[in-house]
Structure 1
Amino acid sequence: MNTFLVLIIVIALSVGSTNASILFPKNKVYIVNSLSKYDDVLRVHCRSIKDDLGVHLVRYPLDNFHFELGDNIFGGTKFICTLSHGVGFKSSVTFTAYEEGGSFYIRFGALDVWEAREDGIYLTDDNHHATFMYAW
């Protein structure tokens, strides 16, 4: 039990140090505007229980909004994003853009790329394959 506690303290101190980004890179979430019209602005609002990242307007072509985050060792890291577009931003979808795996399962350097297209929201995996996830 004492060894486990020491390990937790060492990890916590490492994550807080200036060299932590090399050993434990932050996870990244990108929201990309791939809507086909030049005048179609994507409104992005991402938030967690602790952080509200505010409203951002992402313009076409292929502009993006992104943020970096670290997982909590005790679980609970989750970001919800609302994407809206169209006249009056009436086409809208709210989804979980990032959620950690649970207590004591920490990801480092994860990359989640969400892409807004005409028919909905796609998630791109590490092999650059986009999967349809949500309709507008």
Structure 2
Amino acid sequence: MGTYNSSYVFILIVLVIVLLESKTVLGGRYHVYVINDLGKNIILYVHCKSKDDDLGKHWLKFGADFNWSFKINHFYTTLFYCDLSWGKTKGHFDIFVAGRDWGECGHENICYWRAKKDGLYRYNAKGEFDERMFKW
């Protein structure tokens, strides 16, 4: 009976590893774009980070974007957050949350975020429209 239990546990562990790996392979690389859609002459300040990476400070003119790419970790806990500001308006946003955004950014794994005067919008690939996700 001990051998049966050991074999069962081994097969279960292998299955979990295969599932985690296949999810990562299927997910591939993600590309995130933060776009200034605030209007002419309005500069958007962007500072994005993860637990492991500081992507630096960026000042975007109207229509410009800041972008980066990455792979989701094996435990699907990947998180990128950004501080955004323009004028006296500021916000701290979770720009990419693996559990929320996996599969929501379209078949190309591209997440488009647009900073507008009334909030931050993510392109909804399923409905093909910009959806307000956060208010300032």
On whether the aligned pair clears a TM of 0.5, the verdict is yes
Please give the root-mean-square deviation of Cα atoms over the aligned residues, in Å: 2.6
8 Å CA contact 1:24–1:109 kept in 2: the answer is: no
Q: Distance in 1 between matches of 2:49 and 2:92?
A: 11
Counterpart of 1:63? 64
Question: 1:97 aligned to 66, 88, 95, which one?
Answer: 95
User: Structure 1 length normalisation: TM-score?
Assistant: 0.73
TM superposition shift of 1:82: 1.1
Secondary structure in structure 2 of the residue aligned to 1:96: strand
Q: Percent identity?
A: 32
Q: Distance in 2 between matches of 1:79 and 1:133?
A: 15
Secondary structure in structure 2 of the residue aligned to 1:76: coil
Q: Is the radius of gyration larger for structure 1 or structure 2? A: 2
Q: Distance in 2 between matches of 1:52 and 1:109?
A: 24
Unaligned segments of structure 2, at least 5 residues: 1-8
Secondary structure in structure 2 of the residue aligned to 1:101: helix
Give deviations 1:53-76, integer Å, cap 9, x for gaps.
Answer: 11111111x211111111111232
Counterpart of 2:109? 110
Q: In the superposition, relative to structure 1, how do residues 113 and 54 fare at CA in structure 2: closer, same or farther (>3 Å)?
A: same
Counterpart of 1:48? 50
Structure 2 residue 136 is the aligned partner of structure 1 residue 133: no
User: Structure 2 length normalisation: TM-score?
Assistant: 0.73
Q: Distance in 2 between matches of 1:5 and 1:56?
A: 43
Q: Which piece of structure 1 moves more, 122-131 or 39-48? A: 122-131
Aligned residues: 120
Equivalences for 1:24-39 in 2 at 5 Å? Answer: 25-37=28-40, 39=41
Secondary structure in structure 2 of the residue aligned to 1:40: coil
Q: Distance in 2 between matches of 1:42 and 1:70?
A: 26
TM superposition shift of 1:3: 4.8
Unaligned segments of structure 1, at least 5 residues: none
